[in-house]
Amino acid sequence: MSRQGRERRRGARISASLALRISGVDREPRLRRGDISSTGVYVEGDAAAGGCGTIEVLQILVPGSEERIEVLGRVVRRVLVEDLSRGTTVVGVAFEFLFTDDDTRARVAELVRAAAEDELDSGRMFQVRNAFDAQVGRANEGARHDATVYVVGVDTLSLETAWPVPPGEAIECVVRSPRSQREFAFTGKVVDSRPVGAGADLHRVDIRFRPDPDESPATIEDAIAVLIDESIHPESYQRDGDARADMRGRTDKVALASILSLAESERLSGVLRVRSDAGTGEVYLRDGRVVDVALALGSAAPSPATAPIDALLEIVQWPAAEFAFRAGAVDRDDRVATKTWALLLELARRRDEGGGAA
């Protein structure tokens, strides 16, 4: 499989125990074992979570405190996992974080960093996906081969390379940090080497470090600290082109104001359709701005007869509506002529004046 065909997350994915609350599933955060990165979280045993594309509100309890991080999560994968210890099958759910502000993004990154440090202090490893470019070759030889490091531990590296190096070989692996492009050399012995799938050109290689008597024991730990920091705090976040094309959920779980804030943050274009017993609404977005709103009460088709802000005020107050966003070009006159954040402030003001909750 080519590098381009693999998962595109570019950050450390840490296996850890998390106190996590999923909207509509839990009353309070409950302890789950899963994987968390600066871009998402994967947990098992949550069959009640929605299907792919569903937006949920996630609350993560920061270890050692009562502080909670609240972030939108979009279901991007559901898998069946065999629990061999119990002889049962559980559902694994992967959420992509949808950030509406930089502060929440930074708080999640700090939580991931703390989890990584705890795992390394316990002698365990952390996984990365497509995060570290590297070159590998026999020790004391000049020839080098491209590789991708995907697991780092206090005494182990695992990587993928087209070089079919056999077990027992003494090799050197030079890992390049993703942001500063610093290079760190790890010398060790191949303890396992196997093809990645039948007929694959890539080989998965596990290396155990060989202590260098000329180096301080802290050298490897310092290198790992840099790799953790730069993989958790990348300069940019790679996203699929279709990552926001399909989003749906319920307003009793996720407020429409949060979806509109996300649309502004991500500069989304498309149509947000909202349905409830009261009627149907369509919110048209272009580059993150609301440009028009159509409303129909009862079973009639949505029309732009009502002023956009009045229509949107009606829609956001529906208590238990279903919404779905589809990305695409919007050929619609701009009847709003204001930024989304200003529109949300005006909606909150009108709701306050009308006695509703902001």
28/61 Cα distance (integer angstroms) = 10
**Cα dihedral sign for 125, 129, 135, 136?**
positive
Residue with the two structure tokens 């947990």? 43
Percent of the chain whose pLDDT exceeds 70: 78
Could you tell me which residue, 291 or 111, shows the higher pLDDT?
A: 291
pLDDT score at 245:
57
Helix, strand, coil shares of the chain as percentages rounded to 5? 20, 40, 40
Cβ count near 137 (within 10 Å):
19
Which tokens belong to 291?
């440009």
Average pLDDT score over residue span 307-332: 90
pLDDT digits (tens, 9 = 90+) for 287-318: 999 999 999 887 777 777 788 999 999 999 89
**Ramachandran angles phi, psi of 231, nearest 5°:** -85, -25
Which tokens belong to 131?
């995060």
In the chain, the amino acid numbered 295 is: L
Beta bridge partners of 173: 136, 186
Indicate where the chain has its CATH 2.40.10.220 domain(s).
3-121, 126-224
Could you tell me which residue, 300 or 194, shows the higher pLDDT?
A: 194
Residue (of 232, 213, 241, 318) closest to 272 by Cα position:
318
pLDDT digits (tens, 9 = 90+) for 198-215: 666 888 898 887 655 565
Residue (of 224, 153, 144) closest to 191 by Cα position:
153
279/315 Cα distance (integer angstroms) = 9
pLDDT score at 312:
92
pLDDT score at 51:
79
What mean pLDDT is reported for the chain?
80
pLDDT band at residue 112 under the 50/70/90 scheme: confident
pLDDT score at 198:
62
pLDDT score at 238:
41
Residue with the two structure tokens 């296996």? 15
The pLDDT of residue 15 is above 90 = no
Average pLDDT score over residue span 123-132: 59
DSSP H or E stretch at residue 341: helix 340-353
pLDDT band at residue 69 under the 50/70/90 scheme: very high
Neighbour order of strands in the sheet with 270-276:
246-250, 322-327, 270-276, 279-286, 289-297
Q: Are the C-beta atoms of residues 286 and 270 closer than 8 Å to each other?
A: no
- CATH homologous superfamily of 3-121 equals predicted glycosyltransferase like domains (2.40.10.220)
Average pLDDT score over residue span 63-79: 84
CA 124 vs. chain centroid, Å, equals 22
**Cα dihedral sign for 281, 286, 288, 292?**
negative
pLDDT score at 195:
85
Architecture category of domain 126-224 in CATH? Beta Barrel (2.40)
314/185 Cα distance (integer angstroms) = 61
